[in-house]
Chain A
Amino acid sequence: MSVLDAVEEAGAAQAAWIGACEAAYPKVFRALVAMGASSEDAADAIQNAFERALAVRGATTSPDGWLFVVALRRWRRGRWRQRLFGPLDLLRGHAAAGRSRDEELDLLAELARLTERQRTVLVARYAVGLSQKEIGELLGITSGTVAAIAHQATRKLRQRLGGSK
């Protein structure tokens, strides 16, 4: 393979990678909101993740999972701003995305009651659609641990959501 061919192939691979990330954007956005991010913070975090995606010439994991984990980390790092300005936003009447609809409140409110780890595993599994193995690789834990966390979290979620119906 010549240098030009290699460059062309790398460019095509990256374009495909970016395209896959673009396609994953709506799913990952909703997943971040399910994690507790506001609409604006979710959009910011994903935008930052996209900037990072441009530097990554195709990850070995799925774009959905990669984008979700990178955006999640960015959002968590920026949460100090949320803590600082949250009360001010409340005074101004800004509501977090997904909190204004009664039916969504059930799921999002119950997700918020889980531990951060449980919430991350459930959202990664059921909102982003990752397998236990993919979740384990992205979060740096074994798939056995992912299974255990998912089992506990789904049991709690079913009990609480089942009781509210």
Chain B
Amino acid sequence: MNAADRDLVDLFDDRLARIPVPPRRLRPRARPRRVRALAMAAVIGLLLAASATTLEANAFAEAQAARCVDLGKKMKAYLGAAQIVQSEHPVYPNLPPGSTVVVTAPDGHKESIKTSPSGANAEAAPGSVLATGEPTATCTVGDVTIQVFDSGDTGIWMAIRRLMPGQ
């Protein structure tokens, strides 16, 4: 070992020698409290996550129902005396541009409306059915049933503008 190394050895010896060395432990430290606390924290975290998911699902369902009611309120302007009832079915919240909403009147008459690519509402010819396949959601407000079909793009919520025949 050269002189420069000796210098560092002495430095290490001098500094580290002041660190007190406890007697050699014969057994590892028991950590039951910390382990238990950690396990407890994990369980509580899982319970909270589960309840948060439930709460979130409930909030989502409520938001969906509220949107349906909101849609129903808009429809009321066209339905006149139609009663608005709380929907039991959620309505797809964010309809993409190009999505189609079909409204079915009690007599079976259907009205449909499709969102434009920019998200503005568009009118479809009365009686035309632009939707195909199974609806992603169905909402009943009063005596009107709304079915939502998803085109698969991203977009915004749309409003029903024309709902009942003869208006």
**Bound Cα distance A129, B26 (Å):** 25
State whether A107 touches B34 (Cβ < 8 A). Answer: no
Interface contact A47-B12, CB-CB below 8 Å: no
Interface of B is mostly: loop
Q: Is B20 an interface residue (CB 8 A)?
A: yes
Q: Which of B8, B9, B18 contacts A101 (CB 8 A)?
A: B18
Please state if A47 and B19 are interface contacts (CB–CB under 8 Å): no
Q: Which of B6-39 contact A (CB under 8 A)?
A: 8-9, 11-12, 15-22, 24-29, 31, 34, 38
Question: Quick check: B18 and A103 within 8 Å, CB to CB?
Answer: yes
Interface of A is mostly: helix
Question: What total of chain A residues lie within 8 Å of the partner, measured CB to CB?
Answer: 35
Q: How far is the CA of A101 from the CA of B28 in the complex (A)?
A: 27
Which A residues touch B22, using CB under 8 A? 29, 39, 43
21 CB-based A-B contacts, threshold 8 Å: A25-B21, A25-B24, A29-B22, A33-B19, A43-B29, A47-B24, A47-B26, A47-B27, A50-B24, A81-B31, A81-B34, A97-B20, A98-B16, A101-B18, A104-B18, A104-B19, A126-B11, A127-B12, A127-B16, A129-B9, A154-B4
Task: Enumerate chain B interface residues (CB-CB to A < 8 A).
Answer: 4-5, 8-9, 11-12, 15-22, 24-29, 31, 34, 38
